[in-house]
A and B are shown apart, each in its own frame.
Chain A
Amino acid sequence: MNWIRKNIIMIVGLLVLFYMFIPVFVVIALSFNEPKSRLTYTFDKFTFDNWLHPCSGAEAMCPAVMVSLKIGLISTIGATILGTLMAYALMRYRFRGKGVANLLLFLPMASPEVVLGSSLLTLFVSASFPLGFWTILIAHIMFCLSFVVVTVKARLAGMDPRLEQAAMDLYANEWQTFRRITLPLLAPGIASAALLSFSLSFDDFIVTNFNSGSTVTFPMFVWGSAQRGIPPQVNVIGSAVFLIALAIVVLGQIIGARKRKALAA
């Protein structure tokens, strides 16, 4: 009884975590499944085939993954560069329209994705812009931008402006100050903004679905095949994404801990 009272928070915490991770475990388990028919979600037979040959058996999937990776990478790079510069301008300079810019950046985060997707579609159609890879890319950069600006701004807010003033005082011009002082100190914020952008872009379905034309991304492929039974290779991609993300987080923790240890020494 006493033991339970002492550890109740830990127990409840573990239960909640377990509950949250059940879907992930199911995905990982099903990635080793060899189903008898396309329509079954039961675990029939264990196999490594899905991991060894993810592209065979589900021919349309790998091109879709490639499209998603490509869009994810390009929109991450675009949104991170633009967003970092915007955050810097919003924090370090005074200019006309600054308040409006802050508000407009917040809007994509606040408005429902369905609204965003459909209004973008209206925009592209009325401008007779052909739907496809480029419209998806533009849409992704647009909504990732807000998250990058918010993340980088938070990092900038915690940075003493006197560091930049000190650099200018020590003969660094504006560009050198940004390159040598601001950018290195912002790097952790920029990195987390980039990771966030990539995952937002990689798994976006609603906005993408409105603006994709005939281009198929990985989430759209999954949605499409879900009607007929999801091939186990989809679970391989899902598990791989999860494991990569986990590896990045663990790596980040290790590097952070090592840095702190070096500083404490």
Chain B
Amino acid sequence: MDQIGGDLRLVSLRKEFGDFVAVDNIDILIPKGSFFALLGPSGCGKTTTLRMVAGLELPTAGQILIGDHDIASLKPYNRPVNTVFQSYALFPHLDIYENVAFGLRRRGVKDVATQVEAMLSLVELDAFARRKPSQLSGGQQQRVALARALINRPEVLLLDEPLGALDLKLRRQMQLELKRIQTEVGITFVHVTHDQEEAMTMADTIAVMNQGKVEQLGSPMDLYENPKTTFVANFLGQSNLLTGEVMDRGDFVGVKVWGNHIKIPASRVATTNAKVWVGVRPEKIYISAESNHAHDHLGNQLIGTVLERSYIGVSTQFIVEIPGFLDDEKIMVFEQNVDASEVKAGDRVRISWDPSHTFALDAKQDAYAGDVLAEAE
């Protein structure tokens, strides 16, 4: 077992439950020592994927490789992999010390005491060694679960929504804590979450999953700045998606949006189709009075009317109606509150953004895929 090591690779991994395909032939490479996140809505197959790596679910087909070893058919206790379970699954009848020592004792390791004490001080729980799990707070239990898994120095640590049960403030704190510990121990972390902010804060690489498939894989910045599908564009943050038609292709692709000409760098056009969704993030757009030409140099510009203006502290959000656009193509603009905004509801405005902040997606995709608000309606 000890000689197994290296990158974690999922090769054509598939899991069916009866007729339902939970995980649909995914291929993922997770480099050794990286912090990797599987991100997606509930039911997207991310937890099933994690459970297959842990050995708690047998794949229908495919391979799970650590280095060159296929571990897909090994029992959970024969894999160099440990899991931090959702809601922790601490052993209620054992105290904190014995919970953390559990893995070492099963493997017959000699210096249990020194290792457990060192691990408990890493997660700052030395004083609680003889308490039972039910006597600890949620955050403390979370740290015990982490210590119990990490003490075994696994090749891969799996985290199944580990922060889901914590309140917002504690969750922020634990995100940074987890990231610090991962950097310190250098173990590969695979983190399953439905919280895009959590994934982006911690992970080096994120795989966005939807309906058993990987929608897109990349760094948080990649995914956010240059989404390749409408699902990713909507699930990570918010996007304005506008109906467009490609007119000419070169270094920059020219797209017509209801008579307006929009430019997009060729590298940011994810499709060869003529019909596209033209996307731009709300915070990339500058908004100014129609008479103000300060942002004309940016390149992409539309003229419209402010329908709504809402002040929400860090930013002011505008909804702008552009003449000729469809009803659900009103444009959202988020403006940082640096100066008092000159624009009020009902004003005629000029909105401008840089072509390099624009992206184009295949118009065959559902414009509302992954949009949490639209899907809830």
Contacts and interface: CB of A to CB of B under 8 A. Distances in A.
Interface stretch (B74-82, B218-226, B324-332): B74-82
A176 B90 CA distance: 16
B106 to A, nearest CB: 4
- Scoring A162, A166, A181 by chain B CB atoms within 10 A of each residue's CB, the highest score goes to A166
B88 to A, nearest CB: 8
Given A162-B85, A263-B134, A169 B93 contact: no
Interface string B93-115: 10000000011001100000000
Interface string A155-170: 0000010110111111
A171 interface: yes
B76 A168 contact: yes
A185 interface: yes
A172 interface: yes
A46 B8 CA distance: 83
A160 B106 contact: no
Nearest to B148: A170
Contact of B77 (A160, A162, A168): A168
Given A163-B91, A184-B93, A170 B85 contact: no
A160 B133 CA distance: 15
B56 A169 contact: yes
B22 to A, nearest CB: 17
B89 interface: yes
Contacts of B90: 166
Contact of A171 (B56, B89, B107): B107
Interface string B44-61: 000000000011100000
A166 B106 contact: no
Contact of A263 (B54, B56, B91, B132): B132
Contacts of A172: 77, 102, 106
A167 B92 CA distance: 12
A185 B93 contact: yes
A165 B77 contact: no
A192 interface: no
Contact of B89 (A162, A173, A184): A162
B61 to A, nearest CB: 21
A84 to B, nearest CB: 17
Which interface class (under 10, 10 to 19, 20 to 34, 35 or more) fits B?
Answer: 20 to 34
A169 B87 contact: no
Nearest to B109: A171
B152 interface: yes
B135 interface: yes
B83 interface: yes
Given A162-B87, A165-B56, A167-B102, A173 B93 contact: no
A169 B91 contact: no
A163 B89 contact: yes
Given A166-B85, A169-B54, A176 B76 contact: no
B89 A165 contact: yes
Given A162-B87, A162-B89, A184-B93, A171 B135 contact: no
Given A162-B85, A185-B93, A170 B132 contact: no
Contacts of B87: 160, 162
Contact of B75 (A160, A166, A168, A184): A168
B47 to A, nearest CB: 12
A1 to B, nearest CB: 47
Contacts of A263: 132, 134-135
Given A162-B87, A165-B56, A166-B85, A171 B103 contact: yes
Nearest to A185: B93
B146 to A, nearest CB: 13
A176 to B, nearest CB: 6
A165 B51 CA distance: 10
Contacts of B55: 168-169
Interface in A123-154: none
Given A162-B87, A263-B132, A263-B134, A170 B82 contact: yes
B92 A185 contact: yes
Interface in A250-265: 263, 265
Q: Closest 7 interchain pairs by CB?
A: A170-B103, A171-B106, A162-B89, A166-B89, A168-B76, A171-B77, A169-B83
Interface of A: 160, 162-163, 165-173, 176, 180-181, 184-185, 263, 265
Given A162-B89, A167-B102, A171-B152, 10 more contacts: A165-B54, A165-B56, A165-B89, A168-B55, A168-B76, A169-B76, A169-B149, A170-B149, A263-B132, A263-B134
23 contacts: A160-B87, A160-B89, A162-B89, A163-B91, A165-B54, A165-B76, A165-B83, A166-B83, A166-B85, A166-B90, A166-B91, A168-B55, A170-B77, A170-B102, A171-B77, A171-B106, A171-B107, A172-B102, A173-B75, A176-B106, A185-B92, A263-B135, A265-B135
